[in-house]
Amino acid sequence: FTFIGGLNAIIWSDLVQVAIYVTAALTVVVFLLMKIPASGVEIWQGLAHTPEGTNKLQLIDFSLDFSAPFSFWALITGVAILNACNFGLDQDTSQRLLACKDAKQGNQAMFVSVFATIPVVLIFMTIGSLLYVFYQRPDLMIQEGSQEVMTKFDGQDITVFMTFILTQMPPGLRGFVTVGVIAAAAVNSGLISMSSVLVQDFYRPWRDKRGPKPEAHYVRAGQLGMVVLGLALFAMSILCFYWQQYTDTPLLTFVLSVMTFAYSGLSGVYITAVFTKRGSTASVIAALIAGFITILLQQAYIVDYFGLPPAWKSLAFPWQLCIGTTVAFLVCQLGQTKKSEPAPSAAV
């Protein structure tokens, strides 16, 4: 950030962060395999046939369980909308794609980024499976010639990864992996993109109407915007801590469900703009608000507080996003029909 600056600083610093947390994740996989006395075949069989009667190796769930966030039907509906919003409407991603030389390179970058996530996801799925064996399968953790179970874990599911790092890994390696976890949660590029939107899309148009200002003024405004947004994210993190504790949902599911608050309205407006000729400034704003409120009404604490039907809070976040998108789309459709421009006359 200091020596390079600009977009290059964001891209290269993010690349370093990715390299750190992927290397840290691979280190955890190797260390877990060293700590588990069972062979690879025994681990595989133990994951395929668990005492609970489930198959931990099953990748696709075709059940029609609307409380399952990652079933096949949820993936091709709500999760697909979530990914479309992330790649097409998210400011952080859009800024990176706009830095490409042309649309073709942008398309290639998008596809490469999707395929590059597959091995990373598999690495962390492997960590989760091995942690299950380490803490919840004493039959696989008994060393040969000994009846003593290696270890057990009775805490919350969301803390099991960090608990293993802090209690089972040696010093030095423990610090490296902890830094990797922190790198995965870095929000520096997100703060920069949000500050850019705050200044360029909101503050600058308002300020220009009251007289021109030098560019240095907007640079300073962007710096102050970073501080304001940083404090806002800090307050949001505190709220999310208690929110997640109340809902008692896995951390990944909770994080993705928070994204639906913004994406429900955005996706409804996007569908209206691309596939219809309706919508206005007022209906767009109303659709964004309607999508947010629709998701809010499906949260457990709102359902419990207002005595709404309990079935509302049992829906997984992909289905909540589908409902929020539908409501936002219908609200956006209430806007005045756009006047189509006459086709240019053919040259004689």
Query: What pLDDT digit, counting tens, does each position of 7-23 carry?
Result: 777 778 888 888 888 99
Q: What is the identity of the amino acid at 310?
A: P
pLDDT in tens, 82-108: 988 888 888 778 877 888 888 899 889
Residue 250: its pLDDT value, please?
82
Residue 151: its pLDDT value, please?
53
The contacts of residue 340 (CB under 8 Å, 6+ apart) are: 277
User: Is the pLDDT higher at 184 or at 296?
Assistant: 296
Task: Classify 67 as helix, strand or coil.
Answer: coil
Helix pair angle (317-332, 251-275), 10° resolution: 30
Task: Classify 318 as helix, strand or coil.
Answer: helix
Structure tokens belonging to residue 119? 């091995």
Number of Cβ within a 10 Å radius of residue 109: 15
pLDDT in tens, 261-299: 999 999 999 999 999 989 999 999 999 999 999 999 999
- Its pTM stands at 0.79
Residue 340: its pLDDT value, please?
54
Mean pLDDT value of segment 132-138:
88
Whether residue 25 is predicted with pLDDT greater than 60 in this model: the reply is yes
Residue 90: its pLDDT value, please?
80
Residue 1: its pLDDT value, please?
62
Structure tokens belonging to residue 127? 């960590």
Structure tokens belonging to residue 224? 């102050």
Whether residue 344 is predicted with pLDDT greater than 70 in this model: the reply is no
* Cα–Cα distance for residue pair 228/191, rounded to 1 Å: 10
Q: What is the identity of the amino acid at 126?
A: T
Whether residue 231 is predicted with pLDDT greater than 50 in this model: the reply is yes
User: Residue 204 — very low, low, confident or very high, per pLDDT cuts 50/70/90?
Assistant: very high
* Cα–Cα distance for residue pair 217/198, rounded to 1 Å: 14
Number of Cβ within a 10 Å radius of residue 208: 11
Q: Which of 147-151, 190-194, 335-339 has the lowest mean pLDDT?
A: 147-151
CA 215 from chain centre, in angstroms, equals 34
Residue 122: its pLDDT value, please?
93
User: Is the pLDDT higher at 122 or at 181?
Assistant: 122
Residue 297: its pLDDT value, please?
92
User: Residue 311 — very low, low, confident or very high, per pLDDT cuts 50/70/90?
Assistant: confident
Q: What is the DSSP letter of 202?
A: I
* Cα–Cα distance for residue pair 123/307, rounded to 1 Å: 42
Q: What is the identity of the amino acid at 147?
A: Q
Ramachandran angles phi, psi of 287, nearest 5°? -65, -40
* Cα–Cα distance for residue pair 322/267, rounded to 1 Å: 10
Whether residue 186 is predicted with pLDDT greater than 80 in this model: the reply is no
Q: Which of 1-5, 118-122, 246-250 has the lowest mean pLDDT?
A: 1-5
Residue 161: its pLDDT value, please?
83
Residue 138: its pLDDT value, please?
85
End-to-end CA distance of the chain: 57
* Cα–Cα distance for residue pair 125/142, rounded to 1 Å: 23
Whether residue 255 is predicted with pLDDT greater than 60 in this model: the reply is yes
Contact by Cβ (8 Å): 287, 264 = no
pLDDT in tens, 206-226: 998 888 889 999 989 998 999
Task: Classify 321 as helix, strand or coil.
Answer: helix
Residue 212: its pLDDT value, please?
85
User: Residue 182 — very low, low, confident or very high, per pLDDT cuts 50/70/90?
Assistant: confident
